Homo-oligomer: A and B are copies of this chain.
Amino acid sequence: MNSSQTDAPLPLAFALEAEDGLGRAGCLTLRRGRVYTPAFMPVGTAGSIKGVSSAELVADGAEIMLANTYHLMVRMGAETIARLGGLHSLNRWTKPILTDSGGFQVMSLAKLRTLNEEGVVFASHLDGKKFLLTPESAIEAQILLGAEVAMQLDECMALPAEREAVEAACLRSLRWAERARRAWQADSRVSESTGYGLFAIVQGGTDTRLRQESAETLVAQNFAGYAIGGLAVGEGQAAMLETLEATVPFLPAHKPRYLMGVGTPSDLVASVCRGVDLFDCVLPTRSGRTALAFVGCGTINLRNARHKDDLRPLDETCGCVACGAGYSRAWLHHLFRAGEILGAVLLTRHNLFHYQRLIRTLRRAICSKQLAAFATAFAAGEQQGERGAEVFPELPEL
């Protein structure tokens, strides 16, 4: 810690730099670096982005990564990672890390779980070993990992769900937020250090009254940032955006807003226009492994035979390592057909670069008051052809 900067420990700092409509450009200052927002966080499920080294991830433009607490707990274990120097020391990522609380994977992956007010008992999807995850132990695990940004444990539901169930999960998540906050504040490793923060998670499904109630209750507790959870879980983009519109007005302007697990390029553009600052999603990395490339406003599938003689790069205007080196669609098609992992690696890196390029273009658009124009151009590009226009809409020169 650089103690010369300040004598008293401060939580993370978030400065708004520009606004355009509801869109915001900001800067989040964390223990291990600055994150210019809007920002996209690549997902390192097991503490590592699939197929991409930390140096490469920096080269591709990421300023923060996400790691999954659940996967690290059931693999190495948070205590072991702490004993070996923490996640940053092990995965050689020197910039900030945000960890989820483990709650989402407990819901989606674990073979057995019993949930009560205390927390969740779950069985590892690997070996059945039982773990107890409480709001307090989720904080402890994330501090052991060394995350700059920790998330509260919440109860996440797949949609559609009964209103009563959504409300019960929402209210439970609020009680767990309070316990998470107390555990965080009681822990001097983070509460007395600069540049660490705990984010609460607004829940409530697509019920706007529940979302408002959840947001207001959490805001009153003064968290370092606010996530909007429980979306992109089956409700569709229109319902997601409506819920976002009904939630964001109840979040404070001077705190970062994080839309969890989202999404497609279209989701990013629309959500930035609605005031979201942070995103994470497996889509660019997972798609890279399944031959789907994000190009311009659309996608192309490199397994498709129509690429077999196509000597163009994925995107003439892209500066990623694959396009920059001149790998053609024809060769990438060959690599996927031949089962060569280099195809997956190159496409993963292209997709990560494309996401960073999109989010930075959105930031520049906000700073130059062109967000609405860019969003319109992007949406129009998405509607072209079967899979969207392969041309990336550049911002007009000012």
Q: Is the CB of B330 within 8 A of A84?
A: yes
The proximity string for A residues 308-346 relative to B, scoring 1 for CB distances below 8 Å and 0 otherwise, is 110100000000010001111011001101101110111
The proximity string for A residues 18-45 relative to B, scoring 1 for CB distances below 8 Å and 0 otherwise, is 0000000000000000000000000000
Give complex CA distance A46, B84 in Å: 40
Q: Is the CB of B341 within 8 A of A345?
A: yes
Q: Is the CB of B90 within 8 A of A338?
A: no
Q: How far is the CB of A290 from chain B (nearest CB, A)?
A: 13
Give complex CA distance A346, B55 in Å: 12
Name the B residues within 8 Å of A91 (CB-CB).
331
> Cβ of A92 < 8 Å from any Cβ of B?
yes
Give complex CA distance A71, B328 in Å: 19
Q: Is the CB of B90 within 8 A of A328?
A: yes
> Cβ of A53 < 8 Å from any Cβ of B?
yes
Q: Is the CB of A84 within 8 A of B311?
A: yes
> Cβ of A80 < 8 Å from any Cβ of B?
yes
> Cβ of A52 < 8 Å from any Cβ of B?
yes
Copies in the complex: 2
Give complex CA distance A168, B71 in Å: 59
How big is chain A's contact interface, by range? 35 or more
Q: How far is the CB of A43 from chain B (nearest CB, A)?
A: 13
Give complex CA distance A85, B309 in Å: 11
Say which residue of B84, B311, B327 sits within 8 Å of A92 (CB atoms). B327
User: Contacts A83-B309, A90-B334 given; 19 further ones with Cβ under 8 A?
Assistant: A46-B334, A46-B335, A47-B334, A48-B338, A48-B340, A49-B342, A51-B340, A51-B342, A51-B345, A53-B321, A75-B337, A75-B338, A76-B334, A84-B311, A85-B311, A90-B328, A92-B325, A92-B331, A341-B344
Residues on A lying within 8 angstroms of B by beta carbon are 46-55, 71, 75-76, 80, 83-85, 90-92, 308-309, 311, 321, 325-328, 330-331, 334-335, 337-338, 340-342, 344-346
- 4 closest Cβ pairs, A-B complex: A46-B338, A90-B331, A51-B341, A92-B325
